[in-house]
Structure 1
Amino acid sequence: MTDPTRLFDVAGKVVVVTGGSRGIGYGIAEGFVRAGATVYICARKAEDCEKAAAELSAHGECQPLSANLGSVEGARAFAAQLAERESRVDVLVNNAGNIWVEKLADYPESGWDKVFDLNVKGVFFLVQAMMPLLEASARHDDPARIINIGSIDAFHVPEHETYAYSSSKAAVHMLTRHLALKLAPKHITVNVVAPGRYRSQLLENAIELEGAEELLAPIPLKRFAEGPDLAGAAIYLSSRAGSFVTGAMLPVDGGHGTTL
C-alpha cells in the first residue's frame, strides 16, 4: 500500500507544459513547480516564455523553451531541444491552443486552419515527437502521462460562434481516447482535462462586456475556474493516485458541462 501522504506526490518528475506562459498553462505549471517537479514551459514568444519562467522559478524549478507548435517542424524542433536537456519526460501537458470567433457567413479558412493546426495537429505531432522521451519514463507501476487540455465546449454547444474551437476540442477528446488505447501497452496514460470558464484576461474582457452575473448563470457552483483547480486535476492524473486512469475526460467546470 502506497503511503497515503504520497498519493499525489509529483516531486522530481519532469513535466512539460505547452502554452505555459499565461492562463491555464501558467496555472498548471505553477502547481507542478510548487509541488517539486522540474517544469519546462513553452510559448511562441520567447520573451513571454522567459518572463513567465522567471516568475515561476521563485517557487521551484522552471525552464523556458520557445516553440511554434502549430507545425510538424516546430513540434519536432521543440522535442529535439528538450532531448538535449533531459533524458526523459514524465508528464506532457498539451495546453497550447488557439481560438477564433467569427460569424458563420464570415468565418475564414485561415482562422479555421490556425485553430486546427495548433489545437489538433500540434497535439498529435508533439506526442509523436516526444515518444522517445515519454517511453524512457514509462513503467508498469508508474506510467508516463499525457494530459490534453480539452474544453467543456466539446461536451455541449457553446453560445459564441467558435466553430473551429469547439470542433477542434471535440477532436482532441477523441484523439485522446485513441492514443490512450494505443499507448497503454507502452505504459503511457492519456487523459483530458476539460476546463470551463477560466479566470483569464479573455474572461475579464467578457465580464466587462456582459457582466459576471450573466457569465456565472449557467455554472452551478457559481464561480469561475482558477489556476489551482486545473493544477489539481493535472497533478492528480500525474501522481500515483491517477496512475490507473487513462482515456478519461475530466471536466473542471463547476458543473457547467452538465447544462446545455
Structure 2
Amino acid sequence: MDSASLFNVQGKVVLVTGGAKGIGRMISEGYVTNGATVYISSRDAKACEQAAKELNALGKGKAHAIPANFYNLDDVKKLAEELGKREGSKYLKPYLTGIASVLTRYLPLELHVLVNNSGSNWGAPYDEYPSEAFTRVLTLNLHRVFDLTQLVTPLLEKAATPEDPSRIINIGSIDGLRVPSLETFAYSSSKAGLHHLSRVLANHLGKRNITSNTLACGPFESKMMAATLKSFGETIKAGVPLGRIGTPQDVAGSCLFLSSRAGAYINGSTIAVDGGSAIAAKL
C-alpha cells in the first residue's frame, strides 16, 4: 500500500475538455507528467496543438490534440468518434492501419478518465442580464457535459473494472456552493446544476463501474479569472483562509487522487478545492 501504487495513473487514457488553457492545462500537465496519455480538446485548435507539443516535451506520458467546439453538438459527436478511432488504432498492427476505421468498432476501446472542464462565464448587472447568457453558459457548462459523458460512456465502460473503475471528474466551482457577490447568474446556476448532475451520474453509472465526482474550484490563475484577479486579487486572497490563490499542483493533485487507486471508492462527492474560501465567514 505504498504511495507510488496508490496514486499511480501511468498508462491511463484521459480526455480533458478545455485542456489547453487555465485549469484544464494544469490538469493535463499533471496527468502527462505522471505517465498518462491525455487527449486535449477545445475549440481553439492552435492552442490545443501548442499545449500538446509543450506537454509532450515533458516526457513520461503523451498528449494529443482533438479540437472541438462544444457549443456544437455535432462537434461533440465527432470528438467521441475520433477518440474511439485513435484509441482503437493502437490495437492494430502497423500493416492494418489502412483499415483501422473499419476494424476499430470491434476493438476494446478504452477511456479511463473523463475530465469535464470546458466552461464559460457571463457577467452583467441584474437589470440588464440577457436571456442569451443563460443559453450560452448552460449549454457549455452543463448540457454538453451530459452529452459528452453519454457519448463516451461505452469507452469508459470498456476500461472499467470493479477494483479500478473509470472516472468522471467534473470541474465545478465554489460559486455553485455559495452565493457569489459578482453578478454571474448563469455561471453560478450552471455550476450548481453541474454539481447535482455529477451526483445523479454517480448513482446511475456507479452500477457500470464508473465513478462521478466534482471539484468545486476556488480562485486559480486562468483566462476566465484574469480580469477579476487583476481588479480584486488582494481582496480575494484575503477571503481565503490559506491566504493564497490556487496553484497547478492543487487542482492536478486532486485529479490524480480521484483517478488513482486512492480515489477508487469516492463516488458522488463534491470536493472544494478552494483553500477554505467557501466556508470563510464574511463578518
TM-score range, shorter chain: over 0.9
Aligned to 2:241: 220
Q: Which has the larger radius of gyration?
A: 2
Shift of the 213–181 alpha-carbon distance from structure 1 to 2, 3 Å rule, reads: same
In structure 1, the gaps of 5 or more residues are: none
Distance (whole Å) between structure 2 residues aligned to residue 245 and residue 82 of structure 1: 26
User: Which AA in structure 2 matches 1:244?
Assistant: Y
Task: Indicate yes or no: 2:77 matched with 1:76.
Answer: yes
Distance (whole Å) between structure 1 residues aligned to residue 73 and residue 223 of structure 2: 29
- Deviation at 1:208? 3.0
Distance (whole Å) between structure 1 residues aligned to residue 226 and residue 44 of structure 2: 22
- Deviation at 1:73? 2.1
In structure 2, the gaps of 5 or more residues are: 88-108
Distance (whole Å) between structure 1 residues aligned to residue 235 and residue 51 of structure 2: 32
Aligned to 2:148: 126
After TM superposition, the score normalised by the length of structure 1 is 0.96
Aligned to 1:23: 22
Write the deviation string for residues 13-72 of structure 1: whole angstroms up to 9, x where unpaired: 001100011000000000000000000000101111111111111113100000012243
Task: Give the number of aligned pairs.
Answer: 258
Aligned to 2:50: 51
Aligned partner of residue 101 in structure 1, secondary structure: coil
- Deviation at 1:177? 0.4
Moved over 6 A (4+): none
Aligned to 2:38: 39
Aligned to 2:95: none
Shift of the 117–132 alpha-carbon distance from structure 1 to 2, 3 Å rule, reads: same
Correspondence list, 1:82-231, <5 A: 82-86=83-87, 87-210=109-232, 212-231=233-252
- Deviation at 1:74? 2.3
Distance (whole Å) between structure 2 residues aligned to residue 88 and residue 137 of structure 1: 5
Aligned partner of residue 215 in structure 1, secondary structure: helix
User: Which AA in structure 1 matches 2:118?
Assistant: A
Task: Indicate yes or no: 2:229 matched with 1:232.
Answer: no
After TM superposition, the score normalised by the length of structure 2 is 0.88
Aligned to 1:13: 12
User: Which AA in structure 1 matches 2:73?
Assistant: V
- Deviation at 1:139? 0.4
Distance (whole Å) between structure 2 residues aligned to residue 163 and residue 239 of structure 1: 35
On the 8 A contact 1:70/1:121 being kept in 2, the answer is no
On the 8 A contact 1:71/1:117 being kept in 2, the answer is no
Shift of the 207–177 alpha-carbon distance from structure 1 to 2, 3 Å rule, reads: closer
Aligned to 2:266: 245
User: Aligned-residue CA RMSD in angstroms?
Assistant: 1.2
